[in-house]
Every structure is written in structure tokens, then in C-alpha cells.
Structure 1
Amino acid sequence: MRRLKRIGRRLGGLAAVLTLASVVIFALIEAAPGDPALIMLGTGAQPDTLAALRAELGLDRPLALRYLDWIGGVLRGDLGMSYTYGTPVAELIVQRLAVTLPLTALATALAVAISLPLGTWAAHRPGGGVDGLATVFAQAGIAVPNFWIGLLLILGVALGLGAFPTGGFPGWDAGAGTAIHALVLPALALAIPQAAVLTRVTRAAVIEIASEDFIRTARAKGLTRGQALWRHTMPNALLPVVTMLGLQIPFLISGAVLVETVFNLPGIGTLAYNALAQRDLIVVQNVVLFFAVIVLASNAAVDALYAVLDPRLRGRR
């Protein structure tokens, strides 16, 4: 019963946050300059034609009613029709997720694969060559934006070596290997800044845990430095790493918008960018709300993962 109450409170909190987020998203997008009807018809359109299109799109209705129509449709699973594409927004999002989800998953995997070994090795030998390399990588990765990293990868790897395509996505019909091959450079551009942050967090966490009394006790009982590292230090050092990984999800999503644009990928980030430029309000609102759901879900998943990594927390949840 207590567990059900805790779950109920958390779901209620998530629902409240999403409701507030939807209001803020709707208000900010509506406040942005530009008239969707005018963009669709052009500056030479007659006033009566503009008025008729606004009425057809529902843009002449009060803001409160338009918000209730939108959020009510979202709750029913009806995200509306795109002004620009004339296609259901839900269908557009599902199509673009076939690119964005694999891209972000591959970027996350690359970030973890780079940062955990590099940060752990740097902490294992503080002041050594690898530690210096990790410090330079972390500082450079944080300082350089991911879209600039993408441009450098296009110039140096795609054009210079010819090992990867400069952009575009062949689709999954061309084969999983071909599709993933096209996503490697964008995923790397997205992963490097995240890996830089995770490297610093991993190094600091490992050094801090390695100085604890229970690690010295484990060493006194005969464990080697490497055995103490993998048996006791790393499981405890993963907690701040997982926390940071969860906090980086919003940056990963926002970075995907720029990286998809640089590499001309038909993902959900490109969809949001084009829809914003064309004032396709219904698409922008639903995509941003979808991003908000992803961020909240990832934070909830990280919170639940805490209990797996640290059994001491299970009784408090």
C-alpha cells in the first residue's frame, strides 16, 4: 500500500509538471512573432482570404479555447494536423523518431563508452599521462559546441578520409548497417560534449570513493588496487555518473536539433526547426511537449535506477 501511495504521488507530480509545461509551451509559441496564415498564403494575400484561412485553422478563436482543444486532443492521442505538411502530427513525429531515437541512443552509448574508461583510468593514475589527456579532452569537449564538432568531422573524416557520408540518411530500408553507418558521425558529434562532462564526473567520483575508509579496509584485507577499484570503488562511483547522465538528457535533445541540421538528417529536431521557421504551431507545440515528456521520463528512470545501484535507498522510496 505504501508503495502504491508513493507511485501515486510521483505520477501526480509528473502530471502537474507536464500540465505546467504545456501551458508554458503554448504561451511561448503563441507569443512568437509571425502569422501562420500569412506565411502559408504569402504577403500578397487578400485580407478576406487570410481571415478565412485563420478561421479554418482555428487561429481566430480565443487562446484559452485553443489551448484546451490542443491539450484535450493530446490526451485523446490526436495531435492535430500539420499546417505545412497536411499530415497528422503524430505520424510526422513517429516517422522522424526512426532517426532521432537511434541517433540519441548511439550518442549516449558512445559517450558512456568513451567517458567511463577514460575517467576511471585517469583517476586510477592521477597526474599521469592519461590523466592529462582526460583533462584536455574534458575541457575541449565542453568548450566546443556540438555543431562545430560536426562540421570538423565532416571536413576531417567524411571529406578528408571518405570513411563516412557527409550527411543525409538512406533510411532503414537500405539495411541496418548502412543506416547506422550514416549515423556514426552525427552521433559522435553529439556524444563528445556529453563524454567530456561524464569524464570529469567519473574521474572526480572515483578519486573521492577511492579515498574512503572502506576502500582502505578492502586493501588491508589483501585486495589489489585494481580489485578494490572494480569490486568496491566503481559500483559506488556510478551514482553521480548516472545522475549526470540523466541531467544531460535535455542537452542531448537540444543538441540533436543542431546536429541533425548540420548533417541533414530527417529527425525530429529538424522537424521542429523547420516547423518553427514556417510557424507550423501545432507541430512545434507537440514536438516540444514530447521533448518535455522524454526529459521527465528519463529523470524518473534515473531516480528508479538509484535503488538498483544503491540498495540503501530502497527503503526510502
Structure 2
Amino acid sequence: MPWVKTVFKRLAGLALTVLAASVVIFLAVSLAPGDPAQIMLGTSAQPDTLAALRRQLGLDQPLVWQYLHWLGGIVTGDLGRSYTYGTPVAALIGQKLLVTLPLTALATALALAIALPLGVWSADRPNGPVDILGQILSQFGIAIPNFWIGLLLILGLALGTGWFPSGGFEGWDTGPSALLSLILPAIALALPQAAVLTRVTRTAVLDITGQDFIRTARAKGLSRQRALWQHVLPNALVPVVTMLGLQIPFLISGAVLVENVFNLPGIGSLAYQALAQRDLIVVQNTVLLFATLTLVSNALVDLAYLALDPRLRSRS
């Protein structure tokens, strides 16, 4: 099947891009000014202690060998050991992902749940009350940073009403309270993204509404609402999915701030703490993870085009 070849090409391109990203990240960390061992131990460290740490980190090896050793560890799942935490980096990142991935998924679902109906209803009655309200809300959503929204949610809903925890995460074994801890952070992440998606959805729906096949469907007796939800929205999803793919990096980067605001033990707070503590092996691997998640989201968007637009499958 032709589209299978296209999928294979996308996956091969993804693998090569991740490989190129790993080279850039490794060189950026390795060639940065200063000795990583000196940065970790401080200026008062003894020479023998510095030499021991350099051997432990493999910094006494040639640069090419260091990269190949790190790359081999990525393939086998051995990402090294965190100097600050004293635990394997792979286990540390895996533990933090159990918080960040559900948080990002929940934020994405909330953004879509807000943006799609609001964008469609705004386009259904341009310059009507819903459209005006949607434009005002989207302006606020775009203008206000997500960490500031998080602070407002803590003051208004967590401390003001006590309905939600103001921060922390007790673990998934605590049941519903664990999900409750992610509600406010997910809202803080979702609202700015929903504001952008609402505008994209409104514009895309307006463009499709004026197409000939929509007028034909209406002429055959299809109601306005059925034409809007069954024909207009599915054909307007391509630009929405495109924007959603572009927003994934912002969700990941926004998680760094939001997780620290809500004191969540996610990958964002791990990257922030590792950077503050100069735990470079953790920084190196978390940055590669961020890059990989961004590239994977873009690849999924490309594959989603094949599902949304049959014309692309025929061209593949």
C-alpha cells in the first residue's frame, strides 16, 4: 500500500532527526565553557576528587567515545547515574514521566474540549455574542502566561474554596486524589493553548463554510447544525491539528514552570532542579527527551494528515 511507504519514510526521518538532535545536545553540553566536574563539585574541590569524578563521568575519554557511549546507553536504556540523586537517570526520568505525560495529555484534552466547540460556535454566528465572547477570552488566554494562570487558580480555587489541592502529588496509588492534583495544573497549561486553537478553529470553519460542497449539502436539505458538525468541522481539522502539533513544544516547556508552581514531581521540575544543581547528565538526557517528544508529536501530526485527508493518501 502506498501510504505504508509514506509512514515508513516519516519514521525513518524521525529517527535520523532524533540522532542529529542528540549530536547537537551532546556537543552543546560537552563544549560549554567550564569543566562539568568542577561545576558539579564547586571551586573548592580537591584535584584528586575532581579526577575521580571525571573518570566516573567518562570525561577523561575522547569526545567521540563519550558520545558513542552515551548513544549506546540510550539504545540499551542505560542513561547513566545522576550525580545529585545517586540513582539511574532512566529510572528517574521514567518516574517523573508518570506525572508529566498524564498532565500533558489532560491539558491537551481540555484545550481541545474548549477550543473546538467555542471555535465552531463562533464561526456559526460571526460577530454574534458567542463570537465576541470567544474573541475576548482568547485575547486574555494568549496574553496571560500559564504560570500566572496557575497562581490565580491556586489563590481562587485551591486556597479560596479548598476544592483542589494547592500543590504536590501523592502518587497514583492514592486513587482519585492523584488526578485531582493535576486538574489545576492542566487548566493552567490548557487555557493559553485553547485560546490559540479557538482562533484557528474559527478561521478554518469560516473558510470551509463557504465551499461549494457545503452549499450543495445545504441545498439537499441538510440542516445548518448537521452540516456544520458532520461536514464543516471534519474538513477544518487539518489546520487545527497542525497548530496542535506546534503547541506540543509549548506544553512541554510550559510544564517546566507550571510543575514548579504547583510543586509537581514531573520532568519539568526535574530539568529545572538538575540545571540549578549542575547535574549535567540529567540535563543532557531531559533535553533530548524534550526534543524527542517534540519531534514525535510533529511526526504524529504528519500521520494524522493521512487519516484526515484522503487526497494525501492517494498521493503517497
Q: Tell me the TM-score normalized by structure 1.
A: 0.94
**Pairing 1:18-167 to 2, within 5 Å after superposition:** 18-32=18-32, 35-167=35-167
Find the aligned partners of 2:4 and 2:206 in 1 and give their Cα distance.
39
| Residue 233 (structure 1) aligned with residue 243 (structure 2) | no
Amino acid at match of 1:297: V
Find the aligned partners of 2:14 and 2:58 in 1 and give their Cα distance.
30
Unaligned runs of 5+ in 1: none
Amino acid at match of 1:133: L
State the SS of the aligned residue for 2:110: helix
| Residue 277 (structure 1) aligned with residue 287 (structure 2) | no
State the SS of the aligned residue for 1:126: coil
Per the TM alignment, residue 34 of structure 1 is displaced from its structure 2 partner at its CA by 5.4
Find the aligned partners of 1:8 and 1:127 in 2 and give their Cα distance.
45
2:173 corresponds in structure 1 to: 173
Amino acid at match of 1:56: Q
2:251 corresponds in structure 1 to: 252
Determine if contact 2:29/2:280 at 8 Å carries over to the other structure. yes
Amino acid at match of 2:224: R
> For each residue in 1:176-223, what CA deviation from the matched residue of structure 2 results, as whole angstroms up to 9, or x when unmatched?
x10010100000000001101100001001111011111111111122
Find the aligned partners of 1:157 and 1:22 in 2 and give their Cα distance.
41
Change (3 A) 1:7 1:236: closer
Backbone CA RMSD of aligned residues: 1.7
Per the TM alignment, residue 55 of structure 1 is displaced from its structure 2 partner at its CA by 2.2
Identity %: 70
Determine if contact 1:141/1:193 at 8 Å carries over to the other structure. yes
Determine if contact 1:36/1:278 at 8 Å carries over to the other structure. no
Find the aligned partners of 1:166 and 1:194 in 2 and give their Cα distance.
22
Per the TM alignment, residue 295 of structure 1 is displaced from its structure 2 partner at its CA by 1.7
1:193 corresponds in structure 2 to: 192
Determine if contact 1:202/1:241 at 8 Å carries over to the other structure. yes
> For each residue in 1:227-259, what CA deviation from the matched residue of structure 2 results, as whole angstroms up to 9, or x when unmatched?
211121111011111111111111111111111
Find the aligned partners of 1:32 and 1:145 in 2 and give their Cα distance.
30
Amino acid at match of 2:96: R
State the SS of the aligned residue for 2:166: coil
Per the TM alignment, residue 153 of structure 1 is displaced from its structure 2 partner at its CA by 0.9
Amino acid at match of 1:126: P
Amino acid at match of 1:162: G
Q: Tell me the TM-score normalized by structure 2.
A: 0.95
> For each residue in 1:147-166, what CA deviation from the matched residue of structure 2 results, as whole angstroms up to 9, or x when unmatched?
11111111111112222111
Change (3 A) 1:13 1:233: same
> For each residue in 1:113-161, what CA deviation from the matched residue of structure 2 results, as whole angstroms up to 9, or x when unmatched?
1111111111111101111111111111111111111111111111122
Determine if contact 1:35/1:279 at 8 Å carries over to the other structure. no
Find the aligned partners of 2:36 and 2:270 in 1 and give their Cα distance.
16
Find the aligned partners of 2:179 and 2:14 in 1 and give their Cα distance.
34
Per the TM alignment, residue 262 of structure 1 is displaced from its structure 2 partner at its CA by 0.7
Per the TM alignment, residue 112 of structure 1 is displaced from its structure 2 partner at its CA by 0.5
Unaligned runs of 5+ in 2: none
Per the TM alignment, residue 33 of structure 1 is displaced from its structure 2 partner at its CA by 5.0
State the SS of the aligned residue for 1:166: coil
